[in-house]
Each structure stands twice: as C-alpha cells, then as structure tokens.
Amino acid sequence: MTSMLTHAIRNLPASSAWAARVFARSLSCSPQLQAAAVQPKSKKTLAKSGVKNIVVVEGVRIPFLQSGTSYADLMPHDLARAALQGLLNRTNVPKDVVDYIVYGTVIQEVKTSNVAREAALGAGFSDKTPAHTVTMACISSNQAMTTGVGLIAAGQCDVVVAGGVELMSDVPIRHSRKMRKTMLTLNRAKTLGQKLALISKIRPDYFAPELPAVAEFSTSETMGHSADRLAAAFAVSRVEQDEYALRSHTLAKKAQDGGLLLDVVPFKVPGRDTVTKDNGIRPSSMEQMGKLKPAFVKPYGTVTAANSSFLTDGASAMLIMSEEKALAMGYKPKAYLRDFVYVSQDPKDQLLLGPTYATPKVLEKAGLTMADIDVFEFHEAFAGQILANLKAMDSDWFAQNYMGRKSKVGAPPLEKFNTWGGSLSLGHPFGATGCRLAITAAHRLKKEGGQYGLIAACAAGGQGHAMLVELYPQ
C-alpha cells in the first residue's frame, strides 16, 4: 500500500475539458491519504429535539454471489424473499407488526416489477402490509432505508422493513423496437390478410436483440469508461488501483474468516446446496492483477476486471423502528439512523463523485467533522472511483472550484475506511448494497468501540448519498 498512499499527482492525458481543467493546477492533496488531524472526539448524541429517534434493530443479507453461479436459476423476488425470511428468523419480529416494506432494485424483472410486494407475500407477510419498490441506481436500498426513516419520522409507521435486491444472472433482453412494434400491431390485427401483411414486413434485422448495458442513458457511456476517465483526471495510476483492490479482497477475507460479517444469513437454494458465504472474495497478487488488460478504455485504460466490482446477485433486508417501539417490544437496537443527504452532479464528468459532494453536507448538517467519524463505509464501484473521491475530498482546489467551498473536507483515514472489505471484494448487487453499508457500519462501531459511522455511495446518473449512523448505547 505504500506507493498508493504516497503517489504524487501526475499529468496524464485527459479526455474531457473538465479533466483538462483539473490539470490546470495541482490538486492540493495531502502527502498521505491516511493522515488525519488529531482532534478530540465529540461524544454528544445526534438526537434532535422534537424529532423521533429511529433505530436499526437488525440488518441481514443473503450471501452476495458472482452472477451466473448458485442463484442463476432464480428470480429477484426469490432472493428478496430469502433476505426477508432471514430477517424474520433472526429477529422473531411478528409479521403483523410490520407497517410497511420498501425495497430497492435497479434492473427490474418485468413479471415482478414491484418486487417488494412479491417478496413480502412470498415471505409470509400479510397481504394487508403495503410494499413498494424504489430505484435510484446503486443507492436504491439507501433510498429504501431513508424512505422508511421518513415514514417513521412522519408518524405514519412505527416498524418498516427496508432492503434491496439485484439478480444480474438474468437481465431483460428485448426484441428490437421495430420487432416489438410489429408484434404489438400484429396482436391488434383482426383479419388474416392484415396479419400476413404485417408479417411480410419483418426483415432479418428485426430479430437482432437489444442487449442490456451498464451505461448512462444521457451520455451512452458505460460506468467503467467513466471510472477510467475519472481515474485519469485525478492521476490515479493502475498500480494504485490494483493495490487498493488487493487491500479490499485481503480485508474482506480476513473479516470473513474471522466471523465479522455478521449480516450474512445462509440461504438454501432450491435444488442446490445451502449458500453460507460470499463467493467473490479472492485475494490475488499484484503480479497476477497486473497481467489483466484494460476492460473499457483500450489499450491505455487503467480499469480492469480485477480492480472493478463484479456483476453480483444478492439481497438485503433491514428492520427499522422508532426507538420507543423497539424498546417496547424488548429489542436492543444496534444503531440510530441519523442525518442523511442526497446529491446530484454532472452525469458525464462527475458521474462517480457522489461521496465527495455528499460527505461534507451530511457532516455540516450534523455539526461534525471528519475527525469525529470512527468508521467509514463507502461503496467501491471501482478502485479508481474510490481513490479519485479520496483525492477530490483532500483537495482545496477542487473544493473551491467545483464545490463552492472555502476548503477541503479531507480524506477519510484508511485505518478507519472499509476495513472489512467493500464492494470490490464482497460484491455489489446494485439495489442491495446500501443496507450492507449501514449494518456493517453499526457492527464495526460496536466491535471497534466507536460512536459515529458515515456511509456514502455514488450512483449512476451522477447522484450520491451519505448518512450518519450512531452506535446505540451499550
């Protein structure tokens, strides 16, 4: 990790005017990203007068698996149902006590567009329990959580289950638009002659399918291509990215072997064995990783399969309550869910900078500084993306010229940052990651003796989210 932490900003070719402006002057990054100002930690609670305390009672997830493996024959609601059942088994919460269920997802299965409802019914919840599905790219389950927080804060509910699900093993592949239009018109044709006339217009190119791509609609650019440009703009080298990815896998393996991933619940896959752990954690070596070719910007890009999060299947679920209700039911909450913010930026050049913009806003909202935070859990879409965010957060120049701030917020110290692994190693089911971040922050706070955790994530569309988690008094 030494070269990653001490790597100097270099002038690299940039493919956008924005990136060129970044290079117009040096970014004032600290010599070492893990350096942090030593300040006394505030021990105040983040509770606010007149605002309900909202707590996490428990959070679980089924193992996150690489797409095309043990979950390949299932549907998204099967995974979400398994996460809900895992939550019920762990908490023994009566199903009729749950007032509302919210789930996040990104790539929707047409047959179960409201996957929250189908999963809830499959898990045995009452058909009288409302459920709806939200989508906000990689922060979809973040949105599910904060929707639950809003429902409780508004007095509409006392108990909400929030979660997220993604099944990348089976994504929708559509007929071409010309073929769809012909088929829909054919369905309305009344006579044999009309049907034959329509069929005669079908040409071979009509049968070419529309394949899905993880790309921005507004720019037609894949997220990996954006990550490559972002890494170039902030002079994040291939070596730095590979070192960070290796760090993520190594820490995740250590956490997995040490029994620290307490949110994982086993899932008996129909027709297969019981899955008990994530299968994407694979510590490698710098030599092996260095052999991989660029995945997006060829031949000179720095983003590869080894330093990117992989296509993942998985689901998560979280039990959220008002503190009063949780205590009345005899639960010992894990953490408070406190202030949160959502941000939006330019979806082309700043697509993946959500954490940089969201972090200072949520800290200022709560009256905290970076030095007050004990654990950081940031979503790792790409190693280049996460390192670019750390450099942007540690740059006065970027803060002044792009964020309208007088000074930088500062980079999180690495000894507090994603120390149980992250999306690069644990996996990233788009709609399910946010809940993993929150419950991991809660578990780390308890294990490490901290008080405040900060979760942050970027999302397609140039959006982002950050939330503060406060450990419940032990």
Compute the distance between CA of residue 145 and CA of residue 158 in angstroms, rounded to an integer: 14
Distances, alpha carbon 14 to alpha carbons 45, 149, 355, 406, in Å: 45, 41, 22, 26
The DSSP code sequence of 129-154 is S-EEEE-BTBTHHHHHHHHHHHHHHT
Q: Exactly one of 29, 138, 157, 435 is catalytic; which is it?
A: 138
Q: Exactly one of 29, 157, 435, 458 is catalytic; which is it?
A: 458
Compute the distance between CA of residue 419 and CA of residue 103 in angstroms, rounded to an integer: 27
* Range list of β-strands (E), 306-410: 312-322, 335-344, 375-378
Note if 157 is an active site residue. Answer: no
Place of tokens 């942007």: 392
Place of tokens 């996150």: 64
Compute the distance between CA of residue 219 and CA of residue 226 in angstroms, rounded to an integer: 10
Q: Are 140 and 434 in contact (CB under 8 A)?
A: yes
Phi, psi (degrees; rounded to nearest 5) at 240: -60, -45
List, in order, residues 6 or more apart from 369 with CB less than 8 Å away: 39, 363
Note if 458 is an active site residue. Answer: yes
Structure tokens, 138: 């990689």
Dihedral class, residue 435 (left if φ above 0, else alpha if ψ from -120 to 50, else beta): alpha
List, in order, residues 6 or more apart from 302 with CB less than 8 Å away: 228, 231, 232, 236, 237, 238, 241, 294, 384
Return the H-helix or E-strand segment holding 274: strand 274-275
Go through 297-327 and write b for each residue having 16 or more CB atoms within 10 A of its CB, e for each that does not.
beeebbbbebbbbbbbbbbbbbbbbbbebbe
DSSP 8-class letter at 356: H
Place of tokens 């120049």: 397
Compute the distance between CA of residue 303 and CA of residue 287 in angstroms, rounded to an integer: 16
* Range list of β-strands (E), 68-202: 100-104, 131-134, 159-166
Active site residues: 138, 458
